[in-house]
Structure formats: C-alpha cells, structure tokens
Amino acid sequence: MKQKDSNKRIAIIGAGWAGLQTASSLIKFGFDAKNIVIFDEREKIGGTFSPDCSYTDLKLHTPRLAAECLNYMFPGDKDTRATAIEVYRYLESYVDFVGIRDIIKLNQKVISLEYNSRSKKAILILEVKSYNKEGGKIIKKKQEGPFDMIVYSSIIGPANYPRFVYAEKENEQRKFEGVIIHSSQVRSDLVDAVLRENKKVTIVGGGKSGVDMCTIFCNRGYQTNKNINWLYRSPYWFAKYEVFFHHRSFIAQLRAFLLLLTFPFFCVSSDFALFVWWLTGCVIRMPGSSLKYFDSKRFRFAFLDENERRAVSMNPPIVGDPVGFTSGGLKLKDGRVVLSDVIIFATSYKVGFSSIKILKDDCEVDPQIFNKVLYDHAILPEIPCVFIGHTFLTCNGPLRGVNIADYILHYLERQSSLTEVDMRTKANKLQAKHWTLGNNALFTSEFCYPKELMTVSLDFWLLGYISLMDLFRYYFNLFVMGIHKLPPRFSFSKACARN
Ligand SMILES: Cc1cc2nc3c(=O)[nH]c(=O)nc-3n(C[C@H](O)[C@H](O)[C@H](O)COP(=O)(O)OP(=O)(O)OC[C@H]3O[C@@H](n4cnc5c(N)ncnc54)[C@H](O)[C@@H]3O)c2cc1C
C-alpha cells in the first residue's frame, strides 16, 4: 500500500507498545515516516511497562509470545511471562529495529486538542518538560500540527481512587495518619520500609493489581495473615495461566480447543459460560464470603499462575465496602474499621483522554459526546480526526497496532466523504452500544470481558472488516498452538463496496 496523499500527518499520543506498533505498521504500509510523530509525557517509552510507570515486580500476566510486536521475536521462552523491565528493553530494541526513534518525542504531554471542522484537522497543545542545570524542572508550552489524524493510544491514565480518598487528600486536616498510595506508585523502597518497620498494610481492590500487591509481600515472606488486609467489595474471577498458555501437550491443546469452542456461550449467557469454565477447572474465584452467584462481570480475563494463586490463598480477604477513613485505618459501610499503617489502592486508572481539553471550532465540546458510542468503535463522530486506541479491541498485546494502522489508512481515504451525522447514525447501529470511551471493560467492572470481546468482534464482522474465520484462527493459534504472529486480518473491500 502506498501513501496516496503525502501531505497527510498523523500524531500518536502514547509510546506504549500499541503506539509503537501503530507507527511502525503505518510506515510498513507505505505511510511516510516524516509525517508521523509519537508524543509521550514520560521520560521513557514503554507505557505501562516503562520503568517510570510500572510498580515493583510487575510482570506480564500473558506470555512473552503475546507481547511480541510484528515480526520481532521476544527473547526467552515464549510460553513464560516477562517482567516489566524485560518488556521495556524489548520495546527499546524494537524501536531501533524498525528505525522509529527519531519520530518519538518524550517528555511531551498533550494537554489540549483543537479541531477545525472545515479542514477536518486538529492541532495539539503540549507541555514540554526539561531540566535546567541545577536539575529544576522547566515546563514550556508548544503547539504542533495540524494533523489529519490523532491516535490516542493509552490505557493507563491518572490513578483512580474511590471518591472519599480525594476528599481526604484535599482536606487540610487529614483523618488518616498513615500512608495512602495507588498501586501504580508502589516501588521497592516503600515495600522495604513496610517490611523493615513491620507495618500493617491494607490492599484495596480484588483485581489483578490487587493480586499483584498481595504477591509482592507474600514473595518476600511477609506474614500475610498478620500484617496484610486484603479488602474488596466482591470476589473476582481469574483464568488459570497454564490452561490458556501451556506447553502444547495433546491433552492441553485439546482442552484449550474445547474452551475456545465454548467462547460463543459468553454471548448467550456469560454467567453460564463462566460456570462451564469453572466446572472444567479453567477459572478460579477469589476467596470471598459466600458462593452467592456466578457474576461474570467480575471476570476480566486476567491470568494467574500457581505462585499468584498461592499468594491469594494465603491472604484471607475482608469483603466489605470502604466508605471513609479513621485516624487508624479504613471505615467500612457496615461500621467495621480495618486498621492500617499503609493503604494501597489497587483501584485501576481513570480514562486519560478525559484529561485532554478538547475544542471544536474554538468552543469547548460538550462532554456528553464522550458517553456516546464511537464510529467503528474508534472514532468520535463529532471530532472525526481522533482515533481512540483502547476501544478498538481486536487482539492481544502490541499487534492491535497493526489493525489500527490498517484501519487508519483506510479511514483517511474515505474521511472526506463521511459526514458527522452519517457517522453518528452508523455508530448508533452497532451491537456494542454501551462500549464507549470510558464505559468499557477496561475501565469499569460492569462488563464481562470475553462477552464484550465477542460483541465488539461481532460488530467488526457485521461491518465487513473482519472474517469470523480469521478471528477464530487468531485465537486458535494463540491458545491452542502457541503462535501469535499475525492479528486477525482487517479487510475493507467488502465494507467499501457497501458504502
Ligand atoms: C499493571 C498492568 C499490567 C498489564 N499487563 C498486561 C499483560 O500482561 N498483557 C496484556 O496483554 N495486557 C496487559 N495490560 C493491559 C494493556 O495491554 C497494557 O496496559 C498495554 O501496555 C497497553 O499499551 P498501550 O500502548 O495501549 O498504552 P500504555 O501502555 O497505556 O501507554 C500509554 C502511554 O501514553 C502516554 N500518554 C497518555 N496520555 C498522554 C498525553 N496526554 N500526552 C502524552 N503522553 C500520554 C503515557 O505516558 C504512556 O506512556 C496491563 C495493564 C496494566 C495497567
């Protein structure tokens, strides 16, 4: 594919694995590298896995093979899990391998986007961070663009806390006397201090990062039942790592294949599908109060290995709803108090895109547009030069960037013939209507992840972008054969014929 209009420019916000893969695929597909720029507010590339972002001991929960960029092998045993630093090093070498270092602008935070509906282009306002000789931070503003397409490629955003924490943080006379921290900020110095001073830690949140926080202390032999309180509202479900990522014995492959065949059950009844997976020993539920019901919304398709499952079983949880602080800990809705010196909120992230100020023709846009379904699950019809990467759920790991690049090139060719009204009408016809910028399985616990994956894929199939056979082949290769080389192929010929 050759770039038709060599004047078109693309900005990618985020130098995580998806942003890097999107840029290199655009170039591979014929887009001129000099017309692409990647901005990242951090000092290093790698996003979630960069040293300035990742919490201590962070490891992939998926195998190395699922973290591979296109045609660039991840070193080491492909069935094992890499640490964050290994992922970071791998991405660093990938940047040199594909020659995109020059187009990455680090320490540059996008704070505002100004769209012009006549030209259908947008400019970006950035804060550029640098340091003076004394090491003092200098922030300068600058403007970049205009761009024909802006790809927002970030899953991590600002730390997300329950509402009462913000009040406590702002309050000049804090009630709680200990340390309040988000899981993403947990580094080895904090862990060492906890161990040294024998502090009582409360971990809030039962998702994967909650499990990781428990595992950090458990791996260091900390007396978990005495010193750790693990608090969550209701138990989560996790997939067993070795069932989905195995060493391909005949039995393991057969089991993974049968599992794959039950995937569509999630579309019909996700609770029933989860029940089947539980019966076959493929998923586990966190210890909790009672086996009330199979709540598939608490299944986010995160994987736990044996070591993590051991850590989980050693931490009897407290099931309860935190509503505020006392001087010595956390107050629960039912009146109980959980005594703590350090409270770690493993309560995920906010949608980062929401912190970018958006102007359209010099007026601030109505934030309501962010609650609406996106055109092709990626484009805001009201600002049609913005592509949202995290809602475009096509496959695992960086390979999503290949689909994004493919889609963007197709979209740029058709963009001039699309009107906002048309795009909004088509967006509203999608099956996954609830799947919006912030209301999706990545940011809320209101959705069962495999079910959403199926529904979004169904939309792509109905749009004519993807064949169900390609999708099945992709997951068959990943879970049964241990191959993750090609994403499900996006093809636009059928879709174009229809428009
Ligand atoms: C703790 C954790 C563990 C995970 N483990 C796995 C796993 O094992 N396997 C898996 O498949 N998925 C995993 N995920 C999910 C997801 O795939 C990863 O988060 C993945 O790194 C997402 O890649 P990305 O490129 O989309 O963006 P991110 O990794 O989120 O990187 C985005 C980058 O964008 C930058 N950015 C954001 N906003 C701005 C702005 N306004 N201006 C400039 N720069 C900006 C950020 O600084 C960041 O560097 C994990 C997620 C988390 C949070």
Rounded to the nearest angstrom, the distance between the alpha carbon of 16 and the centre of ligand 1 is 6
- Asked if 216 and 315 sit in the same domain, the reply is yes
Q: Which atom of ligand 1 is nearest to the CA of 14?
A: 34
Q: Which of 311, 345, 379 is the last residue of a domain?
A: 345
Task: Give the rounded distance of the alpha carbon of 489 from its chain centre.
Answer: 21
Rounded to the nearest angstrom, the distance between the alpha carbon of 54 and the centre of ligand 1 is 10
Rounded to the nearest angstrom, the distance between the alpha carbon of 19 and the centre of ligand 1 is 9
| Ligand 1: residue whose CA is nearest its atom 27 | 154
Whose CA is closest to 413, among 2, 1, 4?
A: 4
Any idea of the CA torsion for 315, 318, 323, 329, to the nearest 10 degrees?
-60
pLDDT digits (tens, 9 = 90+) for 281-335: 999 988 765 666 678 999 999 999 999 999 988 888 899 999 999 999 999 999 9
Rounded to the nearest angstrom, the distance between the alpha carbon of 380 and the centre of ligand 1 is 21
What local confidence, expressed as pLDDT, does residue 292 receive?
A: 64
Whose CA is closest to 434, among 366, 382, 377, 384?
A: 377
Structure tokens at 151: 């790809």
- Asked if 366 and 472 sit in the same domain, the reply is yes
Give the DSSP letter of residue 102: G
| Ligand 1: residue whose CA is nearest its atom 44 | 40
| CB-CB contact of 344 with 213 (8 Å) | yes
- Asked if 205 and 340 sit in the same domain, the reply is yes
- Asked if 235 and 323 sit in the same domain, the reply is yes
User: Does residue 498 carry a pLDDT above 70?
Assistant: no
Mean pLDDT, rounded, for 189-215? 96
User: How many structural domains comprise the chain?
Assistant: 2
Q: Which atom of ligand 1 is nearest to the CA of 59?
A: 8
Q: Quick check: CB of 47 below 6 Å from ligand 1?
A: yes
Rounded to the nearest angstrom, the distance between the alpha carbon of 332 and the centre of ligand 1 is 32
Bridge partner list, 39: 13, 105
Rounded to the nearest angstrom, the distance between the alpha carbon of 372 and the centre of ligand 1 is 23
Give me the sheet containing 283-285, strands edge to edge.
283-285, 237-240, 299-304
- Asked if 271 and 362 sit in the same domain, the reply is no
Q: Quick check: CB of 396 below 6 Å from ligand 1?
A: yes
- Asked if 402 and 303 sit in the same domain, the reply is no
Q: Which of 7-16, 47-56, 431-440, 458-467 has the lowest mean pLDDT?
A: 431-440
Give me the sheet containing 36-39, strands edge to edge.
104-105, 36-39, 10-13, 149-152, 386-388
Q: Which of 316, 345, 374 is the last residue of a domain?
A: 345
Rounded to the nearest angstrom, the distance between the alpha carbon of 94 and the centre of ligand 1 is 17
Mean pLDDT, rounded, for 461-482? 95
Please provide the DSSP assignment of 367-415 as one string.
Answer: GGGGGSBPBTTTB-TTSTTEEESTT---SSGGGHHHHHHHHHHHHHHHG
- Asked if 185 and 331 sit in the same domain, the reply is yes
- Asked if 125 and 220 sit in the same domain, the reply is no
pLDDT digits (tens, 9 = 90+) for 396-454: 999 999 999 999 999 999 999 999 999 999 999 999 998 999 888 888 888 899 999 99
What local confidence, expressed as pLDDT, does residue 169 receive?
A: 81
Q: Quick check: CB of 389 below 6 Å from ligand 1?
A: yes
Bridge partner list, 318: 231
Q: Quick check: CB of 352 below 6 Å from ligand 1?
A: yes
Rounded to the nearest angstrom, the distance between the alpha carbon of 329 and the centre of ligand 1 is 31
Q: Which atom of ligand 1 is nearest to the CA of 53?
A: 49
- Asked if 150 and 172 sit in the same domain, the reply is no
User: Does residue 371 carry a pLDDT above 80?
Assistant: yes
Q: Which atom of ligand 1 is nearest to the CA of 111?
A: 41
Sequence-distant (6+) residues with CB within 8 A of 263 are 273, 450, 454, 475
Q: How far apart are the first and last CA of the chain?
A: 21
Residue 126 backbone class (left: φ over 0; alpha: ψ -120 to 50; beta: rest): beta
What local confidence, expressed as pLDDT, does residue 408 receive?
A: 97
What local confidence, expressed as pLDDT, does residue 496 receive?
A: 60
Q: Quick check: CB of 209 below 6 Å from ligand 1?
A: yes
Find the CATH number of the domain harbouring 209: 3.50.50.60
Domain, as residue range, for 367: 3-157+350-498
What local confidence, expressed as pLDDT, does residue 3 receive?
A: 54
- Asked if 337 and 360 sit in the same domain, the reply is no
| Ligand 1: residue whose CA is nearest its atom 15 | 155
| Ligand 1: residue whose CA is nearest its atom 13 | 60
Q: Which of 301, 330, 345 is the last residue of a domain?
A: 345
Rounded to the nearest angstrom, the distance between the alpha carbon of 20 and the centre of ligand 1 is 11
- Asked if 437 and 289 sit in the same domain, the reply is no
- Asked if 126 and 193 sit in the same domain, the reply is no
